[in-house]
């Protein structure tokens, strides 16, 4: 029955970030397949599938939080990609990351910006 | 000449969060008036006054970051107010805070939600 | 169908921490009832219900993490209670918190210890 | 034999922050007297007693770090007092805390400044 | 006289994590030999040598904290090794790390799990 | 008119850390030139140019904070260089970083020390 949440999450993750689902599942399949399952189910099947906030705003929130926390670069890059996929412009992403200088300091904003730069270059 | 930035920041802060400018200025006037000046100038005169991202998205980013960091409740409450002032619905704010369970854990999301609850009650 | 996870989580939370479920549900019922539901379902219905690690070890892990993070005192106190409920001795909890001086610094360990002191006094 | 470290630490702590040693010892005596002992021995008997950096610089470093971390207000206030005791001026402390806006964001600097304001008022 | 603590710490560290003592001492010998000495003395000579909590529980606490903090991968890997050395199963370590999704978010849990994956592969 | 702040910041940054200004400007020129401008203006044109705290003490504060935060290694290395440039001895920097074991835990101090080791080696 949790299949319903998983299926919804897998579809949502596909919509947001292409092959992310496969990559996480592949990375964790030997060590912790259930963590991959939870990643699909809770964040994507439950949270990102909720009404009440559009996907663009959800990705802005996530890029902001991961830039501010400053200790999860792979996930930040993944969500910069996701933000672009759901309709954010590069400029909007740059603005969100720059704004984090105010709330988490300039090093967090700079390191977030370098992550964005890599993502933008990979996509070009 | 930095007056131009200050004036723009003061006006922007007024637009976003009513009497915040007076409160910060009052709180810091004896100990560190220049910090109050910088708060007006850099975050509000420079950052929030930039084009490229609408104010609603800016406040979503800030509420997300402060919920995730989890160590600045007064500023989080101030920006939940600001988010409402610039057009976010309560539902959207609740969604942003809830989503932080994914990126910063359930305690951060719960404590952010309790802060939102207080702000909503104060405004009613 | 998510009822199965909720029911398992509610039962597990009852086992671990008495009236916590009611308290969280009550606190969030007006602002974000779904967050209360997720708290029951994911942490307790999914994670704490898993085999592979006994409840005592799970609470040791949680008390350690919340002491180290240092920004979620209400949840730390709740899990110090939970740790006692599932069989940790006060001495073991004191040791876990003290050890965090090594990994998160003395202020985190001291503030965690003051939280434990309050919980121990409330229970006596 | 650890008495030598404890005695040196106790004396150093007296020099830096008056009755802090008694307060920590009193607060922890029932729950974790060994943690109080370690606080005297390692930070004060080992670290603050080292040559190679003057006490004023050591307190500047500590006030900076605790302001930036933003989750240990009681210890920050204690070290603002200590900084004044070992020769920092109020102005220097204000500058250190203000500078943290750059590295940890404005909320951390503001909350650190409010802590300094309370300490300054208590001492006046 | 601090030799007693150092000797006890060195022996404890040997028991927990083989050649770690030599590696830290070697890494720090030119820049900060006293920091290596303190690492042996305080964490291992004082804390891990205490009665009141078994080594397996101590390593569970440390793996949990370092996964949650998310900014000390080399030390997390070292303590995943240590956890295995003192009797934790791979499954138990996986459970501890997975549980941190609840308290520090999914990125912290994922990055901790990738660290565990590397450690497990190196040992195989 | 913001040129005055920029010019003062550029000169201050030159004084503190040689070619840093060019490097940041170069790194950000395509993605976020305004962030480079703000880095020059606010931290260096406003904060580091203030009277009331000497540059040596300012760099001690920054090295302490970045070591404690533990998630901004490139900026920590840059400020270890800056600290040496404005008159800190290697020994003083080592002491500041070592002291962070007390406030942010041993992993933060160890990782900060490894960063210092790299900087010292690059300069030799």
pLDDT at B20: 87
Q: Are F79 and F43 in contact (CB under 8 A)?
A: no
- Spatial contact of F60 and D57, defined as CB atoms under 8 Å apart: yes
pLDDT tens for each residue of D40-61: 999 999 999 999 999 999 999 9
The string over C76-92, giving b where at least 16 C-beta atoms fall within 10 Å of a residue's C-beta and e elsewhere, is bbbbbbbbbbbebebeb
Contact A107 F75 (CB under 8 A): yes
Contact E115, E76 (CB under 8 A): yes
Each residue's pLDDT, cut to its tens digit, for chain A (124 residues) gives 458 999 999 999 999 998 888 999 999 999 999 999 999 999 999 999 999 999 999 999 999 999 999 999 999 999 999 999 999 999 999 999 999 999 999 999 999 999 999 999 999 9
Is the pLDDT confidence value at D2 over 70?
Answer: no
Q: How many CB atoms lie within 10 A of CB F117?
A: 17
Closest CB to B1: pick one of F1, F34, F38: F1
Q: How far apart are CA F8 and CA F12, in angstroms?
A: 6
B53: nearest CA partner in chain A:
A92
Summarised one tens digit per residue, pLDDT across range F69-101 is: 999 999 999 999 999 999 999 999 999 999 999
Instruction: Work out the minimum CA distance from E72 to partner chain F, whole angstroms.
Output: 6
**pLDDT for B2 beyond 50:** yes
How many angstroms away from the CA of D109 is the closest CA of chain A? 10
Looking at C1-124, which runs of residues are DSSP E strands? none
Spans of chain C, pLDDT less than 70: 1-2
Closest to F62 (Cα-Cα) out of C100, D104, B77, B25: D104
| Chain A residues within 8 A of B101 when measuring between CB atoms | 47
CA–centroid distance for B10 within its chain: 14
Q: What is the pLDDT of residues C103-116, one digit of tens each?
A: 999 999 999 999 99
Alpha-carbon distance A101 to B47, whole Å?
Answer: 9
Question: In sequence order, what DSSP letters do the residues of E22-64 get, joined into one string?
Answer: HHHHHHHTTT-HHHHHHHIIIIIIIITT-SSS-HHHHHHHHHH
In this structure, how many other beta carbons lie within 10 angstroms of the beta carbon of residue A64?
31
Cβ atoms of A83 and A60 closer than 8 Å? yes
Whether F50 and B38 lie within 8 Å, measured CB to CB: no
pLDDT grade for B1, boundaries at 50, 70 and 90: very low
Residue F49 is given by DSSP the state T
Cα–chain-centroid distance for residue F52? 18
3-state helix, strand, coil in chain F (%, to 5): 80, 0, 20
Q: How far is D109 from chain E (nearest CA, A)?
A: 22
**Would you tell me how many other CB atoms lie within 10 Å of the CB of residue A105?**
28
d(CA F109, CA F96): 9
Closest CA to C57 of A56, E124, F90, E98: E98
Q: Please tell me the distance from the alpha carbon of residue E26 to that of residue E78, in angstroms, as a whole number.
A: 16
DSSP H or E segment with residue D53: none
Cα dist from E113 to D37, E67, E96, E120, whole Å = 36, 9, 10, 10
Q: How confident is the model at residue D74 (pLDDT cuts 50, 70, 90)?
A: very high
> What is the DSSP code (8-state) at residue C19?
T
Q: What is the pLDDT of residues E66-123, one digit of tens each?
A: 999 999 999 999 999 999 999 999 999 999 999 999 999 999 999 999 999 999 999 9
Alpha-carbon distance of A61 to A82, in angstroms, equals: 12
- Give B27 to chain A, closest Cα distance, Å: 19
The answer to whether D79 touches D66, Cβ cutoff 8 Å, is: yes
Cα–Cα distances in angstroms (integers) from residue E88 to residues E54, E58, E85, E99, F113, in the given order: 11, 11, 7, 16, 30
What percent of chain B lies above the pLDDT cut of 90? 94
* DSSP three-state, residue C45: helix
Report phi then psi at D3, rounded to 5. Answer: -60, -35
DSSP calls for C39-88: HIIIIIIIITT-SSS-HHHHHHHHHHHHHHH-S-HHHHHHHHHHHHHTT-
CA distance C113 to chain E (A): 15
DSSP F41: I
Q: Which residues of D touch A106 (CB under 8 A)?
A: 102-103
- The residues on A that touch C, with CB distances below 8 Å, are 1-2, 4-5, 34, 38, 42, 46, 50
pLDDT score of B94 more than 90: yes
Q: What is the CA radius of gyration of chain F?
A: 15
Return the closest-CA partner of residue E65 out of D109, F108, B1: F108
pLDDT for position D1: 46
Between the alpha carbon of residue A52 and those of residues A83, B113, C21, the distances in Å are 18, 16, 25
pLDDT averaged over every residue in chain E? 96
Low-confidence ranges of chain F (pLDDT < 70): 1-2
**C-alpha distances in Å from residue A28, one per residue of B35, D74, E108, F115:** 47, 42, 14, 31
Q: How many CB pairs under 8 A join A and C?
A: 17
Please count the other Cβ atoms lying within 10 Å of the Cβ belonging to residue F65: 32
**Cβ-Cβ contacts under 8 Å for E4 (sequence gap 6 or more):** D1, E45
Contacts of D53 in chain E (CB under 8 A): none
Residue matched to tokens 């299926």: A7
Q: Name which of C101, D114, A100 is nearest B61 in CA terms.
A: A100
Q: Which of D48, D62, D104 sits opposite F69 (nearest CB)?
A: D104
Q: Is pLDDT of E20 > 90? A: no
Q: Token match 């029951």: residue?
A: C40
Residues of B in contact with A82 (CB under 8 A): none
> Which chain D residues are within 8 Å of A108, Cβ to Cβ?
105
Type and span of the H or E element at D115: helix D106-123
Q: CA-CA distance, A32 to A30, in Å (whole number)?
A: 6
What tokens appear for D94 in the block? Answer: 């204000």
CA distance B84 to B61: 13
pLDDT of E29 strictly over 50: yes
Q: Are F65 and D104 in contact (CB under 8 A)?
A: yes
Cβ contact A97:A113 at 8 Å: yes
Query: What number of other Cβ atoms are within 10 A of residue E99's Cβ?
Result: 24
Contact B16, B55 (CB under 8 A): yes
């Amino acid at each position: 029955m949790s299949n319903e949440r998983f299926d919804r999450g897998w579809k949502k993750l596909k919509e947001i970030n292409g092959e992310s689902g496969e990559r996480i599942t592949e990375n964790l399949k030997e060590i912790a397949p259930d963590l991959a399952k939870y990643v699909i189910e809770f964040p994507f099947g439950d949270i990102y599938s909720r009404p009440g906030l559009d996907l663009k705003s959800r990705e802005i929130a996530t890029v902001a939080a991961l830039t501010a926390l400053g200790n999860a670069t792979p996930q930040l890059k993944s969500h910069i990609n996701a933000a672009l996929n759901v309709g954010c412009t590069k400029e909007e992403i740059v603005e969100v990351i720059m704004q984090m200088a105010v709330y988490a300091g300039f090093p967090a904003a700079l390191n977030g910006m370098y992550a964005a730069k890599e993502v933008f270059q990979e996509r070009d």
